[in-house]
């Protein structure tokens, strides 16, 4: 059974935790910017006890990260939990999480990238719908953040269905160090790979991170799902090939034959993906031929980004001339 957390309202307390990389990897200036932007929403920002701990891997001990996560969920005054940022080791926490504690104290949990493992595992193990969207560090962005903030508020402050509309501009620059020298690109809209209609439960996030759940008890069922998938450029120079391999691996998962559709996020320029390449990859996989598939949607390792519910519902109607994607919490 799905569990939907209460939405945020003015005066609510939120907790910042670091289940992957440490808050100490961010400048004090950007920490202050992010805190003030969240406070401007009427939220009271608090921090986990161990968020500033930092080891040689820019993270902290499993116990410190688990303690902060558990403290945030069991604190009745905390209404939402935001991850500091992504990283590479959040999957270390999976066997140590008290899933009963989370199930009995449901609340908003939001982040992206490496946080994908926690969002999908929590949904699978508890039924709690989690959220893929901006992390605490994202809120330090000064320019080009309006679209991200709008979808964050629409998803986490109210219950109305959300019809996605492509952003007008997007960026992939090092905004954290170049706040006043941003570079924006014109958004040319969604890429239509396969047309069709679909409705299903949203699973996914970062594809390579989701892969870490394969073969474990923590991966959600793909049956009747719509996979929201994005890929980063960590394997620069080999990104497209690695993406192809990761997608093929997902196809081999149980119940993939009952998946309803796929929504791909935006690829970074250095990733090297084009619509022609993506169509070729999809065409080589017979399991995908009859699925509605759309790409270049506003989520992933570029900005701006939507906030979408992992465990929520997506309704799609995609043709060559019109593309409708609706997020519904049901």
Instruction: Point out the catalytic residue in the list 20, 167, 172, 230.
Output: 230
Domain 13-146 and domain 163-328 have a common topology: no
3-class secondary-structure state, position 327: strand
Whole-number pLDDT of residue 55: 97
DSSP-assigned states of every residue in 181-209:
S---EE---PEEEE-EEEEEEEEEEEHHH
% of residues, the chain, pLDDT over 90: 97
Alpha helices in the chain (DSSP H): 28-39, 62-74, 99-104, 116-126, 146-156, 207-210, 239-251, 275-283
Whole-number pLDDT of residue 270: 94
Cβ atoms of residues 214 and 237 within 8 Å = no
Q: Does 211 have pLDDT greater than 90?
A: yes
Cβ atoms of residues 129 and 123 within 8 Å = yes
| pTM flag (> 0.95) | yes
Instruction: Point out the catalytic residue in the list 50, 172, 233, 301.
Output: 301
Confidence class for position 24, pLDDT limits 50, 70, 90: very high
- Report the sign of the C-alpha dihedral through residues 137, 141, 145, 146, in that order: positive
- Mean pLDDT, all residues of the chain: 97
| Euclidean distance between CA atoms 226 and 198, whole angstroms | 8
The average pLDDT across 64-83 equals 98
Cβ atoms of residues 299 and 119 within 8 Å = no
Whole-number pLDDT of residue 237: 80
The average pLDDT across 272-291 equals 98
Active site residue 113: yes
Structurally, at CATH architecture level, domain 13-146 sits in: 3-Layer(aba) Sandwich (3.40)
Active site residue 223: no
Whole-number pLDDT of residue 235: 82
Q: Does 218 have pLDDT greater than 90?
A: yes
Q: Does domain 163-328 have CATH number 3.50.30.60?
A: yes
Which residues, 6 or more positions from 243, have their beta carbon under 8 angstroms from its beta carbon?
207, 231, 271, 273, 281
Half-sphere exposure of 4 (CA within 13 A, CB side): 14
The average pLDDT across 91-104 equals 98
Cα distance from N-terminal residue to C-terminal residue, the chain:
11
Which residues, 6 or more positions from 130, have their beta carbon under 8 angstroms from its beta carbon?
108, 109, 110, 118, 119, 120, 122, 123, 309, 310, 311
Active site residue 249: no
Instruction: Point out the catalytic residue in the list 22, 59, 60, 113.
Output: 113
**Among the ranges given (97-101, 173-177, 221-225, 318-322), the one the predictor scored with the smallest mean pLDDT:** 173-177
Confidence class for position 304, pLDDT limits 50, 70, 90: very high
CB atoms within 10 A of CB 39: 13
| Euclidean distance between CA atoms 172 and 183, whole angstroms | 8
| Euclidean distance between CA atoms 18 and 13, whole angstroms | 17
Show me where the domains of the chain are located: 13-146, 163-328
| Euclidean distance between CA atoms 73 and 101, whole angstroms | 7
| Euclidean distance between CA atoms 230 and 264, whole angstroms | 6
């Amino acid at each position: 059974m799905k569990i939907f957390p209460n939405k945020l309202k003015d005066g609510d307390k939120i907790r910042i935790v670091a289940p992957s990389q440490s808050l100490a990897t961010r400048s004090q200036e950007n920490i202050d910017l992010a805190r003030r932007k969240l406070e401007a929403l009427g939220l009271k920002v608090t921090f986990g006890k161990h968020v500033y701990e930092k080891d040689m891997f820019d993270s902290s001990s499993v116990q410190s990260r688990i303690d902060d996560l558990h403290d945030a969920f069991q604190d009745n005054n905390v209404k939402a939990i935001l991850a500091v940022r992504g990283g590479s080791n959040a999957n270390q926490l999976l066997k140590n999480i008290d899933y009963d504690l989370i199930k009995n104290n449901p609340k908003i949990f939001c982040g992206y990238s490496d946080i994908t493992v926690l969002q999908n595992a929590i949904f699978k193990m508890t039924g709690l719908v989690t959220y893929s969207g901006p992390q605490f560090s994202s809120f330090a962005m000064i320019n080009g953040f309006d679209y991200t903030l709008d979808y964050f508020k629409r998803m986490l402050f109210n219950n109305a269905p959300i019809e996605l509309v492509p952003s007008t501009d997007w960026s992939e620059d090092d905004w954290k160090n170049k706040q006043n020298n941003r570079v924006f690109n014109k958004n040319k809209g969604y890429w239509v790979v396969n047309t069709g209609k679909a409705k299903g439960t949203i699973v996914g996030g970062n594809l390579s991170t989701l892969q870490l759940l394969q073969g474990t008890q923590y991966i959600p069922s793909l049956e009747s799902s719509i996979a929201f998938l994005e890929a980063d450029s960590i394997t620069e120079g080999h990104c497209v090939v690695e993406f192809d391999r990761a997608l093929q691996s997902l196809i081999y998962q149980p119940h993939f034959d009952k998946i309803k559709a796929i929504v791909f996020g935006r690829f970074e320029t250095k990733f090297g993906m084009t619509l022609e390449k993506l169509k070729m990859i999809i065409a080589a996989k017979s399991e995908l031929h009859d699925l509605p598939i759309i790409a270049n949607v506003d989520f992933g390792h570029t900005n701006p980004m939507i906030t979408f519910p992992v465990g929520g519902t997506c309704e799609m109607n995609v043709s060559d001339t019109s593309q409708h994607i609706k997020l519904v919490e049901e």
